[in-house]
Structure 1
Amino acid sequence: MPPTAPRPCDPSCCRRRRSLCAIALCGLALCHGAQAEPYPARSVEIIVPWAVGGGSDAVARAFADAATRLTGQSFVVINRPGASGAIGHQEGAAARPDGYKLTMVTPEVSLAYLQGIGKTQWSDFQYVARINIDPIALVVKADAPWSTLEQFTDYARSHPGMASISNSGVGATYHLAAIALEKKTGLSFNNVPYIGAAPAVMGLLSGQVDAALATTGEVGVHVKGGKLRMLGVMSERRLKDFDQVPTFHERQIDVQLDTWRALAAPKATPAPVLATLRQLVDKVTQDSAYRHFFARQFLGLVNEDGVGLRARLDRESAFYTEAVNKLQLAK
């Protein structure tokens, strides 16, 4: 029996098959190219949810400067202040998960969410590393009439609602610190919100308020320069660079609060990109210029792996949930 002749191909069907094959081959080529492309291959943005000049901005710019020198690619800081960090956190979480838009996350990612200010929460990110932790301090101008924490609280007690304290924004960590201080002492302050720590400190320096709550990284230089006086720190023990300043606990005020900054990426960021970023943080942390900047600015230098950090943030979120409910801050 003669062999069966092949059926002629319908022209339109053949064109469809050729197109599908071409698309498939193109997809494979693109996939291969994406895998082969080193990261970072172009500039990287770091969103800071706070104003220029604050502690978060300083930490991000120090990291960006070191990362640029070490990788040869530009790391660019983009400030997105407002809504107690919610605007910047939301933009960062919603970014394309390719490693080219990162976020300098702060505790307000939980605080703003719990208070109904923002929709983004801490679990919407993959964490590369926590790179800074600083205790919160109460400061006044160097020529203020209060030389001690007791003198300031005595003034506030005799002038209810008149002692004004600036903070970095409604619902932010420093605002929480002020409210916690009120609850622990029975005092009432005039809490004045600014759009970030830098404007809050400038408000104090310019005489707009009586005091400010901020971190050592934001006020330390002004204290050492003789412009501000630090009355107390909300830390477990006294600080090495400010060992003459008592803790609140020493003055029978049981308040311990700090703030931190962590480099994070959108939740769906590929594991290889996260691994590369973690290696980069390790290198940056050892960079002498980076370390010198942190020491000079009185910023707390840490390098806490993002994987382990998630468990801590889960516990911290529970703590903030209790605090927000107890202080009746939820909207």
Structure 2
Amino acid sequence: MNFIRFVIAAVIALACTAASAATFPSRPIRIICTASAGSPLDAMARMVGKLLTDELKTPVIVENRVGGTGTVGMALAASLPADGYTLVTGTGSTSFLLAESKSAIKASDFLFFRGLQAEPSSMAVLASSPFKTLKDLVAALKTDSSKVSIGGFAAAGFHQYVLYRLQQNAGFDAVWVPFNGGNQAVLAVLGGHVDAVGITPSSALGQIKKGEIRLLGISAPTRDKNFPDVPTYKEQGFDVVEQIWRGLLLKRGTPPEIVDRLNAALDKVEASPEWKSFMTANMQVPMGLSSAQMQQHVETEVASRREFMAKMEGSKK
């Protein structure tokens, strides 16, 4: 009798899930943005929300929940039903959060179902800086690292990881000065508080275009078409290739039919002229990964970041 009841309950649950997927979406969708308003991640989320609203014929609302390098927003998303009505932004910085041994947020909590943008790190200095190339900066660090200050967003985050890779490759020591955001790092180098900053180029587009800041190099695999005059790290003799991603996450357990529906809508978003214009204006490149490939990409990334963070912890002892 209990077995029959279990089967009936399972059939009812499947029927409800199928009915829910068939009518999805039937109410507004929320995108929780884990970065502040005006940031590159926020700009991405708002453009996605606007175009998804048109595509799904239902409001898609962006809500900023900032704090803990994404912990606040992700914790909220993890507490809500896995029904496709709550999406949360993720970035390459999310991989560092998930790599923390004491993190309350686990990779198994989410589906990393969509990567939308990829952008390299760059080493930026004032236009008046004596450092004209990345080799100049590295030479100064190898001579006396105490006289060269380097900073960027977050402690043990993406940009510090890129610097760590550069240190390994070139053989020098450096002290990292963390800031609460890429914008603050840009202001710090403009104010002469640090000599160089590791940033995504989109964090300082205005200053780059005005000629106030110069990029010494980017960590892309090849020259970025948006910055054709900026050599890669690899071109300058440093085998460092890293890019930060931005995308969308769903709570694990979201019905596959709903994931497919959202992916199909996002396919159309990415193919739209408005999205392509947005990407060009913000100097971003698409990731072009399937949901399965994106999931594997993040899992591999988390493993490499966990190793880096363990070394950072070890160096403090």
What is the TM-score when the length of structure 2 is the normalising length? 0.84
CA contact (8 A) 2:52 2:60 kept: yes
Question: Are positions 1:93 and 2:85 aligned together?
Answer: no
C-alpha deviation, 1:61, in angstroms: 1.9
Gaps in structure 1 of 5+ consecutive residues: 1-23
The 1:176/1:329 distance shift into structure 2, 3 A limit, reads: farther
Shift of 1:48: 2.3
> 1:125·1:265 contact (CA, 8 Å) conserved in 2?
yes
Tell me if 1:289 matches 2:289: no
| Identity across the alignment (%) | 26
Give, as a single letter, the amino acid of the residue that structure 1 aligns with 2:279: F
How far has the Cα of 1:275 moved from its partner? 1.3
Greater percentage in helix? 2
Task: Tell me which residue corresponds to 2:110.
Answer: 125
Q: Is 1:274 matched up with 2:247?
A: no
Q: Please tell me whether residue 44 in structure 1 is matched to residue 23 in structure 2.
A: no
Which of 218, 222, 233 is the matching residue for 1:248?
Answer: 233
Question: Counterparts of 1:82 and 1:164 in 2: how far apart (Å)?
Answer: 26
> How much is the aligned-residue C-alpha RMSD, in angstroms?
2.8
Structure with larger Rg: 1
Larger mean Cα displacement after TM superposition, 290-299 or 138-147: 138-147
Matched, 1:257 2:255: no
Aligned residue in 2 for 1:64? 49
How far does residue 139 in structure 1 lie from its aligned partner after superposition?
0.9
Q: Which residue of 2 aligns with 1:15?
A: none
Q: Which amino acid aligns with 1:114?
A: A
Q: Partner amino acid for 1:94?
A: S
> How far apart are the structure 2 equivalents of 1:286 and 1:135?
23
5+ unaligned residues in a row in structure 2: which ranges? 1-8
Structure 2 partner of 1:298: 283
> Residues 174 and 73 (structure 1 numbering): CA distance in 2 closer, same or farther, change over 3 Å?
same
Question: 2:62: which partner in 1?
Answer: 77
Counterparts in 2 of 1:270 and 1:152: CA distance versus 1, 3 Å:
same
Number of the residue aligned with 2:98: 113
Amino acid at match of 1:292: S
What is the rounded CA distance, in whole Å, between the counterparts of 2:243 and 2:315 in structure 1? 21
Q: Which moved more, 1:40-49 or 1:289-298?
A: 40-49
The match for 2:141 is 156
State the secondary structure of the residue aligned to 1:177: helix
Shift of 1:296: 0.9
1:13 aligns with: none
Identify which range, 101-110 or 272-281, moves more after superposition.
Answer: 101-110
Structure 2 residue identity aligned to 1:107? G
One-letter amino acid of the counterpart of residue 123, structure 1: S
User: What letter corresponds to residue 60 of structure 1 in structure 2?
Assistant: A
**Alpha-carbon distance between aligned partners in 1 of 2:279 and 2:51, rounded to the nearest angstrom:** 12
Q: Paired residue for 1:323, among 276, 292, 308?
A: 308
> Is 2:113–2:295's contact at 8 Å kept on the other side of the alignment?
no
Partner SS state of residue 73, structure 2: helix
Letter in 1 for 2:183: A
CA deviations 1:41-88 (Å, max 9, x no partner) are: 332221222233332222222211221233332222222333333333
Q: Secondary structure at the match of 2:23?
A: coil
Task: Say if 1:76 and 1:291 are closer, same or farther in 2 by CA, change over 3 A.
Answer: same
On the 8 A contact 2:112/2:298 being kept in 1, the answer is no
Q: Judging changes above 3 Å, is the alpha-carbon distance between structure 1 residues 34 and 240 closer, same or farther for their aligned structure 2 residues?
A: same
Partner of 2:172: 187
1:40 alignment partner, SS class:
coil
Alpha carbons of structure 1 residues 229 and 36: separation in structure 2 relative to 1, 3 Å: closer
Q: Secondary structure at the match of 1:302?
A: coil
Report deviation, 1:215: 1.8
Q: Given the alignment, which residue of 185, 189, 212 partners 2:197?
A: 212
Between the two proteins, the alignment pairs up a number of residues equal to 305
Question: Which secondary structure does the structure 1 equivalent of 2:42 belong to?
Answer: helix
Q: 8 Å contact 2:218–2:232 — kept in the other structure?
A: yes
**Cα distance, 1:220 vs. partner?**
4.1
More displaced 10-residue stretch of structure 1: 44-53 or 318-327 = 318-327
Encode CA deviations 1:190-211: one digit per residue, 9 max, x unaligned.
4222223233233333443322
Partner amino acid, structure 1, of 2:122: A
1:178 alignment partner in structure 2: 163
The letter for the 2-side match of 1:197 is G
TM-score with structure 1 setting the length? 0.81
